[in-house]
Amino acid sequence: MGTALPARILIVRLGALGDVVNALALANALKLARPDVHIGWACHGLALPLVTDHPSIARVHVWRRGSGPAGWIEVLREIRAERYDVALDLQRLTKSALLTRLSGATRCIGFDRKRAKEGSWIWSRERVSAASFERPMAEQALDFARYMGIEAPVVELDLPRHSEAEAWAENWLGKHRAAPILLNLGATKPANRWPAAHWGLLARRLGEWGPNPIVLTGGPDDRLVASVASKAAAAPILDLVGETSLVQLIALQRRAALVISCDTGPMHTAAAVGAPVLALFGAADERRTGPYGQIQYVQRTRPDCAPCGKRACPLPRHACMLDLTVEAVYEAAVRRLGATQRR
């Protein structure tokens, strides 16, 4: 265990979006403990907007998916040229562990065997001992800070502001004259998704409740879900699914009255920028991956099999999400908005 914080530190946390958001707690803790520290970050291209121009991060190394051996060699050469003192593997996979081990850093630190995946712990020269798994991922990232001698680090999450995206969101808000309620439709894992028609019925109820514009958000892969939701709503709602960049979505989340989302990257970005969040959970464990600082606003049912953490539900009926009713989510949303009566 080190006692003096090194001058040059590499964090390897390639993706996914929510994991990168939570790992930023470590970068912020390191920067607070040593303001002159040079922090590099290795990531995939999708996460680039979360770390580019971040006040705690001096250098970003992008390992582009699909770039093959040439891409691997390119990013590794770039990393080795930075001469990092310490490399930290927060990804816990073989590819991240190898990148950490071959980074040229004198010290290569990863999670221990209990928290590692794919045998990645083998490649670490030093290992952070496992504590409880039932803690938020942002707090687990701070285990590295404690291991490196930082006493009582605290979670601080923030995301860079991009001027063009902020201007776009301000212009959008000016046109619609009220803070939006954002319904984020997608989730990378099928087991985390709420039915498309449920989103539409929820949008209709919320549209009847108050003056806030109801806005569907999501990526290009969520357009079919948005189409089904819009038909089920049978009422005016705004569809931005596939129409915003990640930084535009984050800028709009900063101005939202409420963000309703399943366990997915945009839920974590919303929590990181301080937006009120209502999170819909089924297969995932909210103690680990819930919206940081807002875990009390997780809405879920609790069948005997949940949380299972599976990517897709193996049962004939996906009870944990199907039994999460529109009425229950609507009532939780109204409470979250702080309303006392319906319009």
Domain locations in the chain?
A: 8-147, 163-336
In which band, very low, low, confident or very high, does the pLDDT at 114 lie, cut at 50, 70 and 90? confident
Q: Pick 8-147's CATH classification: 3.40.50.2000, 2.30.30.100, 3.30.1300.10, 3.40.50.300.
A: 3.40.50.2000
Asked whether residue 214 carries a pLDDT value surpassing 60, the answer given is yes
Distance between CA atoms of residues 74 and 293, nearest Å: 38
pTM of this structure: 0.93
Q: Say what percent of the chain tops pLDDT 70.
A: 97
> For residue 77, what are the CA distances in angstroms to 58, 59, 83, 123, 339?
17, 14, 10, 19, 55
User: Same CATH topology for 8-147 and 163-336?
Assistant: yes
The CATH-assigned architecture of domain 163-336 is: 3-Layer(aba) Sandwich (3.40)
Which helix (H) or strand (E) element contains residue 144? helix 137-147
Indicate the range of 11-15, 172-176, 211-215, 300-304 predicted with least confidence. Answer: 300-304
230 close to 183: Cβ distance less than 8 angstroms: no
pLDDT of 158: 85
Distance between CA atoms of residues 201 and 194, nearest Å: 12
Distance between CA atoms of residues 38 and 60, nearest Å: 11
